[in-house]
Structure 1
Amino acid sequence: MAATEVKTHFRTCTLCESMCGIRVDYRGEQIIAIGGDPDDPHSRGHICPKGYALQDLHNDPERLRTPLKRVGEQWLPIAWDDALEEVASRLLEVQASHGKDALAAYWGNPIAHNLGILLSMGRFRQALGTRNLFSASTLDQMPHQLVSYFMYGHSQMFTIPDIDRTSYLLMLGANPAASNGSLMSAGDVLGRLQGITARGGKIVLIDPRRTETALYASEHQFIQPGTDALFLLGLLQVIIQRRLSKPGRLLELAKGWESLSTLLERLPLARIAKQTGIAAADIERIAIEFASADRAVCYGRMGISTQEFGALNHWLINLLNILTGNLDRAGGMMFSTPAVDLLKTSGRGGFDRYRSRVRGLPEFNRELPTAVLAEEMLVPGQGQVRAFVSVAGNPVLSSPNGRQLEQALEQLEFMVSVDFYLNETTRHAHIILPPTGPFEHEQYDLVFNLFSVHNVAKYADALFPHPPGTRSDWDIFTDLCQRMERRKIARKPLPQRLKYELKARLGAFFTLQRILDQGLRQGPYGNGGGWLARLNPFAGKGLSLAKLKQHPHGIDLGPLKPSLPGRLFTRDKKIDLAPGLLVQDLDRLCQRFGAQAGKPGLLLIGRRDLRTNNSWMHNSYRLVKGKERCALFLHPDDADAHGLSNRDQARLISAKGELIVTVKLTADIMPGVVSLPHGWGHHRPGMRISTAQAHPGISMNDLTDEHLIDELSGNAVLNGVPVTLQRYREN
């Protein structure tokens, strides 16, 4: 009788950043239904189509559950111990033969949702011992982190828009109606946006495309791709010239005020208007509205990060919020107070401590730009990458000039992938180590609580036990670390070997749950180890994992709170308004858009879709069915100029390649701009993702250029890529 009983499990969806609570009805090991959790204090019952698809990921027969080894053209099962032993030995052999930096590793976006990877990643990086570390961060938000490091002293000091209390939201390059919010974890983000206008506020959207979010905005302005920094510069100039700044308490918390007037009076507003495509009168009006609003916040996201002046954009956004007194105050740009405080447990960051071998680009946070990954594999010489570890990522589809990276992976001496799909990237591996699925391990959002628009905490145990013969990410990386460490320590003197053995035995005590519990107890809502419990809103012992488990829907920890100067990590406890490297980059902007700047040709931008986020979601039929998602959005005026009609095929050409595209005419895109989505291109041979292959689409990153980067942060330029368009004629 018990086997037929339907039970309910509560946890957080891990398919995007919004942290929506879900309820899972299940019988035995069969999922009956997934829906939103109405008692979740963060998402309040909201769920998007991706949440329903979690069961597709769990049930997918093509999801790998056993390690595979490539032998010729075949993939053969291999026992876990044999696979891990071979991986550890091959990686160390390559380093012994060619040097420690002959090994590279890449972490994909999904690791941010995975507690096991996050808590084992530091040790694994140390075991690898290489400088050649890469991640999806330099294809996404690295400019944001670099600016936080320069201004606030910590790369994890993410500025969060307090959209629940603002009266004026200015958004650039963000499409929360499709992304559900990004670096702004906001369950039911559309309800929250509607709340702004319902209480008499205003939402202004700046974007080269009239996106899905425009339906919720009070005003939308087209902007020429890559010119957001000019627009922000124009807003700041108006505010300074008209003496509209009102920093309030921030005046004493920041340094560099005397520099701002000379820094920002660089380009005439008329030229800014011409380059951006936004009328000077509209720039002036928006600046006055923003500065005059009771509570305002400017928020920019991936559209302004993945462009030529990504870091500059985020700096100018910070200045706009600071000059108007809208930093660290309700309704403005704030900082979260997560239950596990990563700012205190992780390093502050660092910049330009070493550089990439081939192009000489600086590291940040011990990572190099992913745009240089392929060349580090292909260009011969001392330090050439010859072995590669990929973790939960598909850089062949997500990094610029993915075809070049594909060629680079083909010639490696050894590659291992920790992934549960045989996809465009992992098909080049020699061994694939598949972790358990999201329902088969613990869930706690270490990262996304840093981005949350409201402080919350939620934990869920694994819904289903590990199936026999499977291992979690935590198991995989812990085992790999041990094997690599023991090989290295075996060559050391006896005292060092004994010290390592003692440390290893102590380390075995710290399980994933014990580490999380310690983080909660030492966090701002825990007891701090003793007398602080008396000051905590949680009576008694403060917040712990045991207490959190008593609240399956999560705990509401309250709205964002002012936290400066206590939250600052700069040496002098001051916000640095004018970091030298950002000031220099302003010179680059002015040179780029000086008096001689001409009108650009056709520019390519990306786009998001509510039903997709990363390429690995495309093996769910419910997420890929329906309308064509890879058509090229084209304005009717540009179609006329190129002799194209709706549904025609055309050749889209860049400096790196060309694609055959299907044209979709729409007035919702700015003339001179075309748009393709990210994450598609499932036409490669040798994969085991049949649903994705039946809906292959095309990869935008077959056109993007690895040499187009934000020069300061190294972030890839995925928006504003120069292209040409030709009518397609079959031979």
Structure 2
Amino acid sequence: MSEKRIGVCNLCEAICGLELTVEGDRVTAVRGNKDDPLSRGHICPKGVAIGDIHADPDRLRRPVRRVGDTWEEIGWDEAFDLVADGLAKAINDHGRDALGIYLGNPNVHSLGSMTHGTAMVKTFRTRNKFSATSVDQLPHQLLAHLLYGHQLLLPIPDIDRTSYFLVFGANPMASNGSLMTVPDFPARLRALHDRGGRMVVLDPRRTETARVADEHHFVRPDTDAWILLAMLRTVLAEGLATPPAYVDGLPEVTSAITAFTPELAERASGLPADEIRRLARDFAAADGAAAYGRIGVSTTRFGSVCQWAVQLLNLVTGNLDRVGGAMFTNPAIDAVGTGLIGRGHHDVWRSRVRDLPEFGGELPVSVLAEEIETPGDGQVRALLTLAGNPVLSTPDGARLERAVTGLDFLAAVDIYVNETTRHADVILPPTTALERDHYDLVFHLLAVRNTARFTPAVFDKARDQRHDWEIYREIALRTASRLHQRKPLARRLKERARLTMSPTFLIGMLLRTGRSGVTITDLRKNPSGVDLGPLQPDQLPDRLQTDDGRIDAAVPLVLDELPRLLEEPLPATGELLLIGRRHKQDCNSWMHNSERLTKGRPRHQLLMNGADLAERGIADGATVTVRSRVGEVQVEVSATDDVMPGVVSLPHGYGHQREGVLMERAREVVGVSINDLTDPERLDVSGNAALSGVPVTVSASRS
């Protein structure tokens, strides 16, 4: 007999509410939950496929260990002991920094990983920590830390009330927002248009978002910084700025950006100078405007400059902390205000080989391969990956794959044997989304409306399964018991107590101490969620976590980058620059083994402007060789006017045709890994990988 259950899709940042039809232990139908106050019934193809993950025959349900070239199922106690032995041996023999840890994107979508995964990582005290942050949003977090005093005190566009939405390098029609949790973006955009508002998009590709914009402007990849600085210069030079009283450093900013004229920006980006001036003036004149830049500008060589300029555009035009502008959320659990998530710190230590600074306790993942390969004190000898696939997700994945094969020990907490975990000695698979309780600690912080929702597990876990938080507890405690250098008793007891409390218990405690008045009992009675209202203005300067309670716009780290930007050579004639792309049916480097998400027209091709193909004598649909400094791939090419001349595009997360990957459907999905072309030496000053704007050549492949 079927029954209805309320669920949640935690596969992406939209955190849409679901209504599931369940028969026994199977999901037979999925609909958007119309009663959810944030997602309002919206659902995308990934949400429809959430039951596929639960039922996936490729998914691991019990621990496995490597035996030669095959895998053998083992019991949990044996698996935990093998992992603890391997990690402890590396630490005991070579020091605590001999252990490297990589956290993948799914960790932030799991309550247990947020409450216990981070706690486990802290117990190891290694400096060799890495995550997907440094191939994604690190410039956002660094600038939030430097401007507002906390890495996640991020202003969110008030999309439901804005009159002018200015978008750089973002595609919310496909992503439903990123660092802006905005489920049902299409309906919200229609509402913006109905009230007479406008959306303007700058992007080297005519994305799904660009197609429905009031204006779309092609800009060369990796040149947004020139445009943003020219717009900021126009606002300041023409007397259009209305900054709040708690902002310092604007004279220094004005002086520092004098050379970044619209004419210089035109030469760099291809966007006419008069258009740049008009956009700046229109933005400053709008009654409630929000500028938003996302992964297309963060993953460039000047991502931090871009994010600084985006923040300052909102700030100096009076659109920060204003209805219709960019505002801060008031979540039921304020992970920022309570200190649950730390403020962040920068350059407390540096990487051993390339001398790159950490941020928030993590080093740039672009240095991981060299830290494994290079002998000496602090060399990574053992690696623990948590829900991550860095071979597909980080620069020069081929080199990283070669590096991990030389490790003394590799363990993974993951539900799949993928391109990275296939090299593991042991894999520990946790339960999946429908088998565990869920509360979004981060994405309520980033949402376009204040809501709260607790979602109990839809299915009970089997007796021979473990939740991720239970796995993290056992790894931490068993490894600690094997270390030669023991921690003080008080610290050991504190860590044990922290790791023993369940995530659901912790959520109940955090809600009770919050200011919203919402309790976990309230949320259990209202499984669709509780509406806490729209974003609120006039929270600054009180919400700032800077030492002096003010904003210093003249960020030294950014101002020091501006001379380097001025020295950059302008794009060469005939140069091709590679950008990525993502689709609604993809979830980073996984979910390609769901038939309902991979059927239909192939999406793996290299997109290339027809004029560029003709210039090289390449036919539409031909197989081409794409080369960068670090590698080459062969892939079919597709002619399109959706990318500007001089730009080519490959999707992120493909390249599953590797021997030993135990995801049969995924291995059938044609495509290559864009990160066999991206370059670990191309970095933003934050340490974020510059995955966008990679110079490549494209030629017809020899038959």
Query: What TM-score comes out, normalization by structure 2 length?
Result: 0.98
Residue of 511, 525, 530 corresponding to 1:550: 525
Report the secondary structure of 2:645's partner residue: coil
Which residue number corresponds to residue 359 of structure 1? 354
In structure 2, what is the Cα distance between the partners aligned to 1:704 and 1:67? 33
In structure 1, what is the Cα distance between the partners aligned to 2:221 and 2:320? 27
Which residue number corresponds to residue 729 of structure 1? 702
Which residue number corresponds to residue 555 of structure 2? 579
In structure 2, what is the Cα distance between the partners aligned to 1:131 and 1:48? 39
In structure 1, what is the Cα distance between the partners aligned to 2:435 and 2:484? 33
Which residue number corresponds to residue 475 of structure 1? 470
Q: Does 1:121 align with 2:117?
A: yes
Which residue number corresponds to residue 537 of structure 1? none
In structure 1, what is the Cα distance between the partners aligned to 2:435 and 2:422? 24
Q: Which amino acid in 2 is paired with 1:398?
A: S
Report the secondary structure of 2:6's partner residue: strand
Residue of 614, 635, 639 corresponding to 2:588: 614
Q: Which amino acid in 2 is paired with 1:266?
A: A
Q: CA deviation at 1:599?
A: 4.5
| Structure 1 unaligned regions, length at least 5 | 526-541
Which residue number corresponds to residue 435 of structure 2? 440
In the superposition, relative to structure 1, how do residues 33 and 77 fare at CA in structure 2: closer, same or farther (>3 Å)?
same
Q: Superposition pairs for residues 501-580 of structure 1, below 5 Å? A: 503=494, 506-507=497-498, 510-525=501-516, 542-562=517-537, 563-580=539-556
Q: CA deviation at 1:614?
A: 1.7
- The share of aligned pairs that are identical, in percent, is 46
Residue of 451, 454, 477 corresponding to 2:446: 451
CA contact (8 A) 2:200 2:213 kept: yes
Q: Superposition pairs for residues 236-247 of structure 1, below 5 Å? A: 236-247=232-243
Residue of 648, 653, 665 corresponding to 1:674: 648
Q: Which amino acid in 1 is paired with 2:305?
A: L
Q: Which amino acid in 1 is paired with 2:111?
A: L
Q: Which amino acid in 1 is paired with 2:640?
A: T
Residue of 636, 648, 657 corresponding to 2:622: 648
Q: Superposition pairs for residues 73-92 of structure 1, below 5 Å? A: 73-92=69-88
CA contact (8 A) 2:219 2:271 kept: yes
Report the secondary structure of 1:549's partner residue: helix
Which residue number corresponds to residue 350 of structure 1? 345
Q: CA deviation at 1:127?
A: 2.2
In structure 2, what is the Cα distance between the partners aligned to 1:693 and 1:436? 23
Q: CA deviation at 1:468?
A: 2.1
In structure 2, what is the Cα distance between the partners aligned to 1:135 and 1:445? 19
In the superposition, relative to structure 1, how do residues 584 and 491 fare at CA in structure 2: closer, same or farther (>3 Å)?
closer
Report the secondary structure of 1:485's partner residue: helix
CA contact (8 A) 1:23 1:34 kept: yes
Which residue number corresponds to residue 691 of structure 2? 718
- Provide Cα deviations, 1:415-465, integer angstroms capped at 9, x if missing partner: 000000011000000000000111000011111111100011101111111
CA contact (8 A) 1:164 1:331 kept: yes
Q: Which amino acid in 2 is paired with 1:684?
A: R
Report the secondary structure of 2:591's partner residue: helix
CA contact (8 A) 2:217 2:271 kept: yes
In structure 1, what is the Cα distance between the partners aligned to 2:664 and 2:51? 17
Q: CA deviation at 1:564?
A: 1.1
Report the secondary structure of 1:151's partner residue: helix
Q: Superposition pairs for residues 317-336 of structure 1, below 5 Å? A: 317-336=310-329
Q: CA deviation at 1:334?
A: 1.0
Q: CA deviation at 1:524?
A: 2.6
- Provide Cα deviations, 1:597-652, integer angstroms capped at 9, x if missing partner: 75571100001111112222111011111111111111111011100121111111
Which residue number corresponds to residue 538 of structure 1? none
Number of equivalenced pairs: 700
Residue of 39, 42, 58 corresponding to 2:54: 58
Q: CA deviation at 1:547?
A: 1.4
Structure 1 range deviating more: 504-513 or 557-566: 504-513
Q: CA deviation at 1:486?
A: 2.9
Residue of 389, 399, 407 corresponding to 1:404: 399
Query: What TM-score comes out, normalization by structure 1 length?
Result: 0.94
CA contact (8 A) 2:262 2:274 kept: no
Structure 1 range deviating more: 405-414 or 344-353: 344-353
In the superposition, relative to structure 1, how do residues 114 and 108 fare at CA in structure 2: closer, same or farther (>3 Å)?
same
Q: CA deviation at 1:263?
A: 1.6
Q: CA deviation at 1:490?
A: 8.4
Q: CA deviation at 1:78?
A: 1.1
Q: CA deviation at 1:657?
A: 1.0
Q: Does 1:589 align with 2:565?
A: yes
CA contact (8 A) 1:179 1:613 kept: no
Q: CA deviation at 1:258?
A: 2.1
Q: CA deviation at 1:506?
A: 4.5
| Structure 2 unaligned regions, length at least 5 | none
Q: Superposition pairs for residues 249-288 of structure 1, below 5 Å? A: 250=244, 252-288=245-281
Structure 1 range deviating more: 598-607 or 643-652: 598-607
Q: CA deviation at 1:557?
A: 0.7
In the superposition, relative to structure 1, how do residues 506 and 49 fare at CA in structure 2: closer, same or farther (>3 Å)?
closer
Which residue number corresponds to residue 67 of structure 2? 71
In structure 1, what is the Cα distance between the partners aligned to 2:452 and 2:42? 17
Q: Give the RMSD, CA atoms, in angstroms.
A: 1.4
Q: Does 1:708 align with 2:697?
A: no
In structure 1, what is the Cα distance between the partners aligned to 2:523 and 2:232? 44
Residue of 478, 487, 498 corresponding to 2:482: 487
In the superposition, relative to structure 1, how do residues 641 and 94 fare at CA in structure 2: closer, same or farther (>3 Å)?
same
In the superposition, relative to structure 1, how do residues 288 and 511 fare at CA in structure 2: closer, same or farther (>3 Å)?
same
CA contact (8 A) 1:419 1:433 kept: yes
Residue of 298, 323, 341 corresponding to 1:305: 298
Q: CA deviation at 1:507?
A: 4.1
In structure 2, what is the Cα distance between the partners aligned to 1:320 and 1:226? 19
Report the secondary structure of 1:69's partner residue: strand
In the superposition, relative to structure 1, how do residues 212 and 332 fare at CA in structure 2: closer, same or farther (>3 Å)?
same
CA contact (8 A) 2:38 2:183 kept: yes
In structure 2, what is the Cα distance between the partners aligned to 1:84 and 1:717? 37
CA contact (8 A) 1:134 1:367 kept: yes
In structure 2, what is the Cα distance between the partners aligned to 1:283 and 1:727? 37
Q: CA deviation at 1:668?
A: 1.1
Which residue number corresponds to residue 430 of structure 1? 425
Report the secondary structure of 2:561's partner residue: helix
CA contact (8 A) 1:337 1:524 kept: no
Residue of 359, 374, 386 corresponding to 1:379: 374
Q: CA deviation at 1:246?
A: 1.8
Report the secondary structure of 2:463's partner residue: coil
Report the secondary structure of 2:78's partner residue: helix
Q: Does 1:106 align with 2:122?
A: no
Q: Which amino acid in 1 is paired with 2:526?
A: H
Q: CA deviation at 1:504?
A: 6.2
CA contact (8 A) 1:246 1:325 kept: yes
In structure 2, what is the Cα distance between the partners aligned to 1:160 and 1:609? 23
In structure 2, what is the Cα distance between the partners aligned to 1:507 and 1:226? 44
Q: CA deviation at 1:502?
A: 5.0
In structure 2, what is the Cα distance between the partners aligned to 1:388 and 1:501? 23
In the superposition, relative to structure 1, how do residues 586 and 139 fare at CA in structure 2: closer, same or farther (>3 Å)?
same
Q: CA deviation at 1:373?
A: 0.5
In the superposition, relative to structure 1, how do residues 275 and 505 fare at CA in structure 2: closer, same or farther (>3 Å)?
closer
Structure 1 range deviating more: 10-19 or 304-313: 10-19
Q: CA deviation at 1:314?
A: 0.3
Q: Which amino acid in 2 is paired with 1:351?
A: H
Which residue number corresponds to residue 627 of structure 1? 601
